[in-house]
């Protein structure tokens, strides 16, 4: 059986994808990551894979031409620094852009399929909408360096013809099991669950724009199980290529999300609004909603899990079961 590689394979989306591959009977998988001193190693426990490489070792091997792997079918490139508040632009350019370029070149030399993670952060404040039309790509203006590092690679991939036989997914707000190690970058579902356990209330940011009431800022939330199904299908359907939004196409408010968590926990609602930190106010997206037309035309998914359905599954079967792993 052909090999698969997952960069960021111990992370949130990567480890859930590894679980998905195992469900499909695939265990000839190379995991690439940086386990460091975090707890994300737990995401690999109980899963089957062939080998593990530290990301720096892996990068050195592919850039030197010494990574001798045969029959690599698909490389899922999910590894990146995803912090929207990371200020080290040089680190983001190296880790998120340069690494991706080297990996894309390696894939092309070996005719391996590349399925990679872009981000809805490339759309910035959404002034131009959230359309994944390739003709719109160069017009996008991300609000933070994380988003720009993803934009850098999207533009490079388009300019160098990589997108003709690869898929880049612009992930919107993904939530679900295996994210417990992400700290401040964990989803609001995870944070709300623990806030309710500890204080019986959920804290949401106040709005600092007159056109949005407190808690009514909007996001396109996608459940992790939908995301991993799309990734798997993209590896199998070679006729699907290019940049695609990966979101439900339906924006929901933070109030909707908080209420779904309270409901799943069978707790009375208590929501408190707090000021947004000043450093976030200029880089905060008040609205995201995937234009899902091009994605839906691919038939990679038959439909999306509702916010209430996804939150219920996550809370009942993982968080409340004290088993945050998928």
Q: Would you state the structure tokens that stand for residue 243, as one six-digit string?
A: 């940049």
Query: Among this protein's residues, is 146 annotated catalytic?
Result: yes
Helices 224-236 and 12-23: angle between axes, nearest 10 degrees: 60
pLDDT for position 69: 86
In angstroms, how far is the first alpha carbon of the chain from the final one?
24
Q: Is 193 a catalytic residue?
A: no
Are residues 31 and 52 in contact, defined by beta-carbon separation less than 8 angstroms? yes
Helix, strand and coil in the chain, % to nearest 5: 45, 15, 40
Using DSSP's 3-state secondary structure scheme, residue 220 falls into: coil
CA distances from 115 to 25, 171, 236 (A): 19, 12, 11
Cα dihedral across residues 229, 231, 235, 240: positive or negative: positive
Measuring CA to CA, how many Å separate 174 from each of 91, 189, 225? Answer: 24, 10, 9
Catalytic residue among 42, 52, 55, 182: 182
Q: Let me know the angle formed at the C-alpha of 120 by 133 and 33, rounded to the nearest 5 degrees.
A: 120
Q: Do domains 3-174+221-249+290-304 and 180-219+251-285+310-319 have the same CATH topology?
A: no
User: Could you tell me if 7 and 28 are in contact, meaning their C-beta atoms sit under 8 angstroms apart?
Assistant: no
pLDDT at res. 2: 64
Q: Which is catalytic among the residues 123, 146, 284, 318?
A: 146
pLDDT at residue 1, rounded to an integer:
47
Q: Which long-range contacts (CB under 8 A, 24 or more apart) does 30-33 make?
A: 30/3, 30/4, 30/5, 30/6, 30/69, 31/6, 32/5, 32/6, 32/7, 32/8, 32/58, 32/79, 33/7, 33/8, 33/9, 33/79
- Other Cβ atoms closer than 10 A to 202: 26
| Fold (topology level) of 3-174+221-249+290-304 | Rossmann fold (3.40.50)
Specify the 3-state DSSP secondary structure of 301: coil
Q: State the residue for tokens 């396109």.
A: 220
Return the domain boundaries, the chain: 3-174+221-249+290-304, 180-219+251-285+310-319
**Domain 180-219+251-285+310-319: which topology?**
UDP-galactose 4-epimerase; domain 1 (3.90.25)
Q: Which mean pLDDT values do the consecutive 10-residue runs of the chain (326 residues) have?
A: 88 97 96 92 95 96 90 95 86 94 95 96 92 95 93 97 97 96 92 97 95 96 98 97 97 98 98 91 86 96 97 96 72
CB atoms within 10 A of CB 322: 6
56 DSSP assignment: H
Q: How far is CA 119 from the centre of its chain?
A: 7
pLDDT at position 324 is 60
Number of helices followed by number of strands (H, E) in the chain: 11, 13
* Spatial CB neighbours of 182, under 8 Å, sequence gap ≥ 6: 12, 190
The structure tokens listed for 120 are: 């809805």
- Spell out a b/e string for 262-281, using b for 16 or more CB atoms within 10 Å of the CB, else e: bebbeeeeebeeeeeeeeee
């Amino acid at each position: 059986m052909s090999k698969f590689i997952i960069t960021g394979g111990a992370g949130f989306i990567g480890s859930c994808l590894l679980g998905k591959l195992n469900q499909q009977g695939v265990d000839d998988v190379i995991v690439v990551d940086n386990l460091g001193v975090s707890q994300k190693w737990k995401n690999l426990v109980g899963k089957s894979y062939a080998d593990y490489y530290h990301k720096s070792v892996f990068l050195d091997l592919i850039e030197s031409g010494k990574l001798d792997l045969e029959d690599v079918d698909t490389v899922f490139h999910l590894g990146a620094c995803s912090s929207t508040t990371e200020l080290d632009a040089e680190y983001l350019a190296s880790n998120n852009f340069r690494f991706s370029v080297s990996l894309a070149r390696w894939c092309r030399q070996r005719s391996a399929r590349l399925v990679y993670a872009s981000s809805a952060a490339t759309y910035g404040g959404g002034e131009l909408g959230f359309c994944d039309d390739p003709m719109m790509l160069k017009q996008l203006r991300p609000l933070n360096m994380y988003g720009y590092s993803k934009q850098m690679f999207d533009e490079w991939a388009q300019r160098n013809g990589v997108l003709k036989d690869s898929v880049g997914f612009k992930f919107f707000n993904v939530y679900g099991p295996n994210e417990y190690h992400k700290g401040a970058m964990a989803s609001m579902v995870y944070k709300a669950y623990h806030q309710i356990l500890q204080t019986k209330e959920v804290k949401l940011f106040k709005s600092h724009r007159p056109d949005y009431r407190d808690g009514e800022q909007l996001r396109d939330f996608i459940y992790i199980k939908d995301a991993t199904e799309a990734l798997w299908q993209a590896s199998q359907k070679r006729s699907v290529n290019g940049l695609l939004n990966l979101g439900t196409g339906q924006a929901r408010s933070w109030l909707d999300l908080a209420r779904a968590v309270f409901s799943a926990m069978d707790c009375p609602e208590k929501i408190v609004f707090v000021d947004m930190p000043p450093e976030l106010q200029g880089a905060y997206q008040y609205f995201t909603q995937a234009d899902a037309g091009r994605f839906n035309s691919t038939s990679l998914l038959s439909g999306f899990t509702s916010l209430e359905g996804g939150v219920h599954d996550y809370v009942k079967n993982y968080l409340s079961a004290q088993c945050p792993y998928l």
